[in-house]
Structure 1
Amino acid sequence: MIKINKLEIENVKRVKAVKIEPTSAGLTIVGGNNNQGKTSVLDAIAWGLGGNKYRPSQAEREGSVVPPYLHIVLSNGLVVERKGKNSDLKVIDPNGQKGGQQLLDSFVEELAIDLPKFMNATSKEKANILLRIIGVGNQLHELEVKELEIYNRRHAIGQIADQKSKFAKEQPYFPDAPKEPISASELIRQQQEILARNGENQRKRQRAQQIQQEFEVQGREVNRLTAMLNAAQSKYTELQQDLAIAQKDAIDLLDESTTELEANIQQIDEINRKVRANLDKDKAETDASEYRVEYDKLSGDINAVRQQKTELLTTANLPLPGLSVADGELVYNGQHWDNMSGSDQLKVSTAIVRKLKPDCGFILLDKLEQMDLKSLNEFGQWLEQEGLQAIATRVSTGEECSILIQDGYVVGQEEIEFQQKPGEIDAGPTWKAGEF
């Protein structure tokens, strides 16, 4: 990995003249009070390595008659210079060959010289950068689209099931009602059949009464007509037999009542209302049950897609152990970005930026005063472990600062005398990180 071995900066923004040799691995903190030139150091490095798009709007130090001068020595032997009236770029490789911005761009990651750009991005943007560099962005996007589609279908099914269940609960139920609606014409037909049978019974009763009358007349005729006794007796006997049969038939007859049918005919609308209510309730309960089955199936499909996403990220070449993406956001050791400690946020950002261009072994960080000493120490130890270099600023003059800037100088370099030739710095002392 390529790192910054040495910096010489003159007349850039608030910097008057500084020489710095950052630590090769770990955290180099440029400290000092406000408006002393700390951020100007980082801006000068960004301009020197990132190109003119990082040139400060007012690059030359106010009041200076000497143009800005930048001299950066990298660990791969490259020397990067900007000097002269136009601050032209010159890149010299170890073999003495000249290069340009294209050579620097091949290994200098843009976010490494502007890490806050990554840290201030939205959660979705951070996650997309990570997914892009590990090469699973498109696959994960397809799985997320599939998961959302199934989720929306399941949500709709669940709503319908809930509506059906609610409707079924609200419906009245009539246990005494028949299973099917009643037909008025069928009831009338049944009534007519009963009336016909009753009419036949009445005819038989009338016949019995008629025979009874004839029998009585004939009996009187027997008393009156003795001469005709034999004939009358025969007729009498015959009639007596017929009478016995007729009376027996009449005794066994039982008229059917039409009262219930008449009541049903009168109440057919009410009965059918109850039947329909029962059918609606049964149908709603059946529908609700079927939708619940479909809901459970879709839940299984969602879990299967989520498992695919987990496996995809588990097998991916992630830049940091414990780092992943969940619901479109970065997650580190189970915590989303807004719940990560400041140290963890810096670890995640640095690891992702390093993954973008693995040859870029340094990052620039401005304004670390919001971090406590414990977090700074943890971050510095992690950088050393990973062999990474970070140059950062902090409004502080405490012992955690590797270098102190005051009035545009590194403390201890105030007596540097500038040469008359523009862009050259007197060969005064060079402060190495960690000497404070």
Structure 2
Amino acid sequence: MKIVQLQAENVKRLKAVEISPEGHIVEITGRNGQGKSSVLDAIWWALAGTTHIQAVPIRKGENEARIRLDLGEIKVVRTFRKREDQTFTTSIAVESTDGARYPSPQRMLDGLLGALSFDPLAFTRMDGKAQMEALKRFVPGVDFEAIEKANKADFDRRTDVNRQAKALRAQASGIVVPDDAPAERIDDAALVAEMEQAGEHNALIERRRAGREAAAAEVKRLDAEAERIRGEIAVLTDRLRDAEGSADQKRGQLASAETLPKPIDTAALRERIADAGRANAAIARREERARIEAQAAEVEAQSAALTKGIEERVTAKREAIAKAELPVPGLGFGNDEILLDGVPFDQASSAEQLRTSVAIAMAANPKLRVIRVQDGSLLDEEAMRILAEMAQAADYQVWIERVGVSGGVAIVIEDGAVKGAVQVAQAAE
């Protein structure tokens, strides 16, 4: 299916044009700013849906524009109407040859369209990544967008995880543990209990010592009292004797009392408790460092899992690409670039690049056998010959925008209208 006739009224710079193309190369020529690009845009806008229509599709000063495209088997009419706020509405109708209208015209066109937007000349000027994007349509069963989205999410997550792991490792390395730290914690609670028992023991000794001192003071007092009584009251000699006997008895009791035990040296216990505290603090730091290191290892394992997921998706994508049937023998994918016979595409000759790009464009448009080429003035005579030969061999129609003419019938656009057709030498049929 090719374009039989194009009519466009008030589309961009066009006033009214009617083109019934002949041959496989349809050159649209004329001076710059006369409406050549508007012709190629009209073809695209008639078919590709509203997403691709520019902000101002209606010619300045007009309120309505229309594109009629006769494709032989179907006819497409797209209409634009300007609103009061200078925006526009658009509608589309598709009819079969017998006049029947399709109920879902855009859906029908989407199934027909392929990739009319693929410009083989623009493709040769793309960078490697953009060229790979253009070729993704030839790799079935691979959702490149989903893969890139998942890899981007995992990459961002891995960045955060690696940052977290690095922080944990730094935190762990900042915990200093003495080399002589014991392997097990010391039971400082037992030492504290022993310290308490020593305190009670020493307190008991102090109480007993105080009791003895009090008893000795009492003996001394009684001795003085007895001496006073002996001197003053003779009649109380017997009683004094009794008192002296009582005092002697108490002295004997004190003398025979058991020797008090020695106090316990609590200073040594305090030092042992302090040593235990320092040892246990070192062990606690070691345990904290081990805990943080284990946490870091866990986070690093998450990073490794994310890396594995990314690599698995990339590997699956590469395997699918390797199995894909690309439109040109020797065409393949490298790292962020396409290859032709194992060599980066941009290192191939201009002729090889053009042949490859045109073959890709044809493969991308198997039903609507139409290719658009903008900036066709960049093509020399040899390139135009190659383009004409390939279009004829594959029975494709190539609409090309040029300032000059090189072959076939060149349709001249001037001031938004068809001025005429320039007949020049056609490529050999």
TM-score normalised to structure 2 length? 0.50
1:409 to 412, 415, 419: 419
Residue 339 of structure 2: aligned partner: 333
CA distance in 1, matches of 2:170, 2:159: 16
Choose between structure 1 and 2 for higher RCO, CA contacts under 8 A separated by at least 6 residues. 1
1:166 CA displacement: 0.8
Answer yes or no: is 1:112 the counterpart of 2:116.
Answer: yes
Work out which of the residue numbers 154, 167, 176 in structure 1 matches 2:171: 167
Identity of aligned residues (%): 17
Measured against aligned partners, the alpha-carbon deviations of 1:214-244 in whole angstroms (never above 9, x if no partner) come to xxxxxxxxxxxxxxxxxxxxxxxxxxxxxxx
Following superposition, the deviation at residue 112 of structure 1 comes to 2.3
1:351 is matched with which residue: 360, 366, 377?
A: 360
Are the counterparts in 2 of residues 50 and 108 from structure 1 also a CA contact under 8 Å? Answer: no
Distance 1:259 1:397, change over 3 A: same
Letter matched to residue 160 of structure 1: Q
Q: Which residue of 2 aligns with 1:38?
A: 36
CA distance in 2, matches of 1:107, 1:149: 33
Q: 1:274 Cα deviation (Å)?
A: 2.5
CA displacement at 1:100 relative to structure 2: 6.2
Distance 1:378 1:259 in 2: 107
Q: Residues 155-196 of structure 1: CA distance to partner in whole angstroms, max 9, x if unpaired?
A: 45433322221112111221122233433333356779999x
**Kept after mapping to 1: 8 A contact 2:168/2:295:** yes
Work out the CA distance in 2 between the residues paired with 1:175 and 1:51. 75
Contact 2:407 2:427 in 1 (8 A): no
Contact 1:323 1:332 in 2 (8 A): yes
- Equivalence for 2:404: 397
Cα distance per residue 1:85-127 (max 9 Å; x no partner):
xxxx9989xxxx74567599598528527969x99xxx99998
Deviation readout 1:269-325 (Å, 9 max, x if unpaired): 444332222222233334434543453344334322322222233334555664669
> SS in structure 2 opposite 1:409?
strand
What is the deviation of 1:30? 2.6
Structural mapping, 1:19-418, within 5 Å: 20-23=21-24, 28-36=26-34, 38-39=36-37, 41-42=39-40, 50=47, 57=58, 98-99=98-99, 105=109, 109=113, 112=116, 135-136=140-141, 147=151, 151=155, 154-188=158-192, 261-319=269-327, 322=331, 332-333=338-339, 351=360, 354-355=363-364, 358-369=366-377, 371=378, 373=380, 380=387, 383-384=390-391, 388-394=396-402, 396-397=403-404, 399=406, 403=410, 405=412, 407=414, 408-410=418-420, 412=422
Q: Distance in 2 between matches of 1:295 and 1:21?
A: 62
Gaps of 5+ in 2: 78-92, 200-263
Q: Residue 393 of structure 1: CA displacement?
A: 1.0
Q: Normalized against structure 1, the TM-score is what?
A: 0.50
* Residues 132 and 338, structure 2, Cα contact 8 Å, conserved in 1: no
- Gaps of at least 5 residues in structure 1 are 62-67, 83-88, 196-255, 413-429
Change (3 A) 1:331 1:267: same
C-alpha change, 1:21 and 1:190, in structure 2 (3 Å) is same
Q: Secondary structure at the match of 2:367?
A: coil
CA distance in 2: counterparts of 1:332 and 1:353, whole angstroms: 18
8 Å CA contact 2:139–2:321 kept in 1: the answer is no
Q: What is the aligned length? A: 320
Assess, with a 3 A threshold, how the Cα gap between structure 1 residues 7 and 125 changes in structure 2: closer, same or farther: same
Q: Secondary structure at the match of 1:333?
A: strand
